[in-house]
Protein backbone atom coordinates (compact mmCIF):
# COMPACT_ATOMS: atom_id res chain seq x y z
CA UNK A 1 0.00 0.00 0.00
CA UNK A 2 1.32 3.44 -0.95
CA UNK A 3 1.05 5.91 1.91
CA UNK A 4 1.32 9.68 1.69
CA UNK A 5 2.69 12.03 4.31
CA UNK A 6 0.62 13.93 6.87
CA UNK A 7 1.64 16.78 9.17
CA UNK A 8 0.12 17.08 12.64
CA UNK A 9 -0.60 20.53 14.04
CA UNK A 10 -0.45 20.70 17.84
CA UNK A 11 1.74 18.61 20.10
CA UNK A 12 -0.21 18.03 23.32
CA UNK A 13 -1.97 15.02 24.76
CA UNK A 14 -4.61 14.88 22.04
CA UNK A 15 -1.80 14.64 19.50
CA UNK A 16 -0.66 11.38 21.09
CA UNK A 17 -4.14 9.88 20.74
CA UNK A 18 -4.30 10.99 17.11
CA UNK A 19 -0.90 9.43 16.40
CA UNK A 20 -2.21 6.13 17.72
CA UNK A 21 -5.22 6.27 15.39
CA UNK A 22 -3.14 7.28 12.35
CA UNK A 23 -0.60 4.51 12.95
CA UNK A 24 -3.37 1.95 13.37
CA UNK A 25 -5.20 3.13 10.24
CA UNK A 26 -1.93 2.77 8.31
CA UNK A 27 -2.87 5.09 5.44
CA UNK A 28 -0.50 7.98 6.16
CA UNK A 29 3.13 8.45 7.13
CA UNK A 30 3.51 11.10 9.81
CA UNK A 31 6.07 13.60 8.51
CA UNK A 32 6.26 15.39 11.85
CA UNK A 33 4.54 17.86 14.13
CA UNK A 34 4.09 21.63 14.05
CA UNK A 35 3.83 23.31 17.45
CA UNK A 36 4.99 26.38 19.38
CA UNK A 37 8.55 27.65 18.64
CA UNK A 38 9.74 26.75 22.15
CA UNK A 39 8.91 23.09 21.48
CA UNK A 40 11.13 22.81 18.39
CA UNK A 41 13.25 19.67 18.23
CA UNK A 42 11.28 17.80 20.86
CA UNK A 43 9.93 14.33 20.20
CA UNK A 44 6.38 13.02 20.61
CA UNK A 45 6.04 9.24 20.34
CA UNK A 46 8.97 9.17 17.94
CA UNK A 47 7.89 12.11 15.75
CA UNK A 48 9.84 15.37 15.73
CA UNK A 49 8.39 18.83 16.25
CA UNK A 50 10.01 20.26 13.14
CA UNK A 51 8.17 23.55 12.67
CA UNK A 52 5.86 26.15 14.17
CA UNK A 53 2.67 27.94 13.19
CA UNK A 54 4.52 30.50 11.05
CA UNK A 55 5.64 27.66 8.78
CA UNK A 56 2.10 26.53 7.98
CA UNK A 57 1.40 28.71 4.92
CA UNK A 58 4.56 27.51 3.19
CA UNK A 59 3.95 23.87 4.10
CA UNK A 60 0.32 24.07 3.01
CA UNK A 61 1.31 25.56 -0.33
CA UNK A 62 3.22 22.35 -1.04
CA UNK A 63 -0.03 20.38 -0.84
CA UNK A 64 0.69 18.31 2.25
CA UNK A 65 -2.03 16.52 4.17
CA UNK A 66 -2.71 17.93 7.64
CA UNK A 67 -4.63 17.07 10.78
CA UNK A 68 -5.29 19.59 13.55
CA UNK A 69 -4.14 17.70 16.66
CA UNK A 70 -4.48 20.62 19.05
CA UNK A 71 -7.08 19.55 21.59
CA UNK A 72 -10.45 21.21 22.11
CA UNK A 73 -11.65 21.41 25.70
CA UNK A 74 -14.29 23.98 24.89
CA UNK A 75 -11.78 26.48 23.50
CA UNK A 76 -11.71 25.90 19.76
CA UNK A 77 -10.70 29.32 18.43
CA UNK A 78 -7.09 28.38 17.69
CA UNK A 79 -8.06 25.05 16.08
CA UNK A 80 -10.37 26.95 13.73
CA UNK A 81 -7.72 29.57 12.93
CA UNK A 82 -5.11 26.92 12.11
CA UNK A 83 -7.55 24.95 9.97
CA UNK A 84 -8.45 28.06 7.97
CA UNK A 85 -4.81 29.12 7.47
CA UNK A 86 -3.91 25.72 6.08
CA UNK A 87 -6.98 25.45 3.88
CA UNK A 88 -6.50 28.98 2.48
CA UNK A 89 -2.94 28.13 1.47
CA UNK A 90 -3.74 24.88 -0.31
CA UNK A 91 -3.26 22.26 2.39
CA UNK A 92 -5.41 19.13 2.37
CA UNK A 93 -7.41 17.63 5.21
CA UNK A 94 -8.20 13.92 4.89
CA UNK A 95 -10.73 12.16 7.06
CA UNK A 96 -9.01 10.01 9.69
CA UNK A 97 -11.07 6.99 10.75
CA UNK A 98 -9.87 4.36 13.19
CA UNK A 99 -10.32 0.79 11.94
CA UNK A 100 -11.65 0.11 15.44
CA UNK A 101 -14.56 2.51 14.84
CA UNK A 102 -17.82 1.72 13.04
CA UNK A 103 -18.80 4.34 10.48
CA UNK A 104 -21.89 3.63 8.40
CA UNK A 105 -21.47 3.72 4.63
CA UNK A 106 -24.61 5.88 4.67
CA UNK A 107 -23.01 8.61 6.81
CA UNK A 108 -21.04 11.71 5.78
CA UNK A 109 -17.78 12.80 7.41
CA UNK A 110 -16.22 16.22 6.76
CA UNK A 111 -12.61 16.95 5.86
CA UNK A 112 -10.14 17.10 8.74
CA UNK A 113 -12.40 15.17 11.12
CA UNK A 114 -11.02 12.29 13.16
CA UNK A 115 -13.18 9.34 14.25
CA UNK A 116 -11.33 7.67 17.11
CA UNK A 117 -11.20 4.15 18.52
CA UNK A 118 -14.51 2.36 19.21
CA UNK A 119 -16.68 5.29 18.15
CA UNK A 120 -19.93 4.52 16.30
CA UNK A 121 -21.39 6.72 13.58
CA UNK A 122 -24.72 5.36 12.41
CA UNK A 123 -26.74 5.65 9.21
CA UNK A 124 -27.56 9.08 7.78
CA UNK A 125 -25.42 10.88 10.36
CA UNK A 126 -23.59 13.93 9.01
CA UNK A 127 -20.48 15.29 10.68
CA UNK A 128 -18.79 18.53 9.60
CA UNK A 129 -15.18 19.57 9.13
CA UNK A 130 -12.41 19.73 11.74
CA UNK A 131 -14.32 17.70 14.33
CA UNK A 132 -13.13 15.28 17.01
CA UNK A 133 -15.37 12.25 17.50
CA UNK A 134 -13.59 10.77 20.48
CA UNK A 135 -13.17 7.23 21.78
CA UNK A 136 -16.35 5.23 22.42
CA UNK A 137 -18.72 8.04 21.46
CA UNK A 138 -22.04 7.09 19.81
CA UNK A 139 -23.50 9.24 17.05
CA UNK A 140 -26.89 7.78 16.23
CA UNK A 141 -28.91 7.80 13.01
CA UNK A 142 -29.90 11.10 11.39
CA UNK A 143 -27.71 13.20 13.67
CA UNK A 144 -26.20 16.42 12.28
CA UNK A 145 -22.97 17.72 13.82
CA UNK A 146 -21.58 21.00 12.50
CA UNK A 147 -17.99 22.07 11.92
CA UNK A 148 -15.33 22.40 14.64
CA UNK A 149 -17.12 20.29 17.26
CA UNK A 150 -15.63 17.96 19.86
CA UNK A 151 -17.78 15.01 20.90
CA UNK A 152 -15.84 13.65 23.86
CA UNK A 153 -15.31 10.12 25.15
CA UNK A 154 -18.39 7.99 25.88
CA UNK A 155 -20.88 10.63 24.73
CA UNK A 156 -24.26 9.41 23.45
CA UNK A 157 -25.96 11.59 20.85
CA UNK A 158 -29.33 10.01 20.16
CA UNK A 159 -31.15 10.02 16.84
CA UNK A 160 -32.27 13.12 14.93
CA UNK A 161 -30.25 15.57 17.04
CA UNK A 162 -28.68 18.70 15.59
CA UNK A 163 -25.47 20.01 17.14
CA UNK A 164 -24.45 23.25 15.50
CA UNK A 165 -20.94 24.57 14.80
CA UNK A 166 -18.24 24.88 17.45
CA UNK A 167 -19.82 22.87 20.27
CA UNK A 168 -18.06 20.86 22.96
CA UNK A 169 -19.88 17.89 24.52
CA UNK A 170 -18.12 16.64 27.64
CA UNK A 171 -17.27 13.02 28.41
CA UNK A 172 -20.10 10.71 29.42
CA UNK A 173 -22.88 13.12 28.45
CA UNK A 174 -26.16 11.99 26.92
CA UNK A 175 -28.35 13.99 24.54
CA UNK A 176 -31.99 12.98 24.15
CA UNK A 177 -33.21 12.23 20.65
CA UNK A 178 -34.50 15.03 18.43
CA UNK A 179 -32.86 17.95 20.24
CA UNK A 180 -31.04 20.95 18.81
CA UNK A 181 -28.00 22.49 20.49
CA UNK A 182 -27.09 26.07 19.60
CA UNK A 183 -23.63 26.87 18.19
CA UNK A 184 -20.73 27.64 20.55
CA UNK A 185 -22.29 25.68 23.40
CA UNK A 186 -20.32 23.76 26.02
CA UNK A 187 -21.90 20.78 27.79
CA UNK A 188 -20.00 19.72 30.91
CA UNK A 189 -18.98 16.11 31.47
CA UNK A 190 -21.61 13.62 32.61
CA UNK A 191 -24.51 15.91 31.73
CA UNK A 192 -27.94 14.84 30.53
CA UNK A 193 -29.63 17.04 27.93
CA UNK A 194 -33.39 16.54 27.77
CA UNK A 195 -34.53 19.89 26.31
CA UNK A 196 -33.54 22.10 23.40
CA UNK A 197 -30.60 24.44 23.98
CA UNK A 198 -31.39 27.57 22.02
CA UNK A 199 -28.99 29.99 23.74
CA UNK A 200 -25.24 29.44 23.59
CA UNK A 201 -23.37 29.16 26.87
CA UNK A 202 -21.97 26.65 29.35
CA UNK A 203 -24.36 23.98 30.62
CA UNK A 204 -23.89 21.28 33.23
CA UNK A 205 -25.85 18.75 35.28
CA UNK A 206 -28.61 16.15 35.17
CA UNK A 207 -30.66 17.62 33.68
CA UNK A 208 -28.40 20.35 32.33
CA UNK A 209 -28.73 23.90 33.51
CA UNK A 210 -27.07 26.99 32.10
CA UNK A 211 -24.29 28.01 34.49
CA UNK A 212 -22.66 30.87 32.57
CA UNK A 213 -22.43 32.66 29.22
- Domain covering 96-202 in this structure, CATH number: 2.160.10.10
- The CATH classification of domain 4-88, taken from the options 3.40.50.300, 1.10.10.10, 3.40.50.20, 3.90.226.10: 3.40.50.20
Model pLDDT, residue 2: 53
Residue ranges per structural domain of the chain: 4-88, 96-202
- The pLDDT score that the predictor gives to residue 1 is 39
Extract the residue ranges of the chain whose pLDDT is less than 50.
1
Output the pLDDT for position 71: 86
The predicted-structure confidence for 45-81, as pLDDT tens digits, reads as follows 999 999 999 999 999 999 999 999 998 777 789 999 9
DSSP letter for each residue of the chain: ---EEEEEE--SHHHHHHHHHHHHHTSEEEEEEEE-GGGTT-EETTEEEEEEGGGHHHHHHTT-EEEE-S--SS--HHHHHHHHHHHHTT-B---EE-TTSEE-TT-EE-TT-EE-TT-EE-TT-EE-SS-EE-TT-EE-TT-EE-TT-EE-TT-EE-TT-EE-SS-EE-TT-EE-TT-EE-TT-EE-TT-EE-S-B-S-SEEETTTTEEEE-
Amino acid sequence: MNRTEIILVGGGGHCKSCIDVIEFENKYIIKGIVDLPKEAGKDILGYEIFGNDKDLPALASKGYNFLITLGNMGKSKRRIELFNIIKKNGGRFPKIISPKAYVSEHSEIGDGTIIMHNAIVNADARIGENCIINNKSLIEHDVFIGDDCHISTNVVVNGNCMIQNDCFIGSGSTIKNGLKIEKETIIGLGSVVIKQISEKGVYYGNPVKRIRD
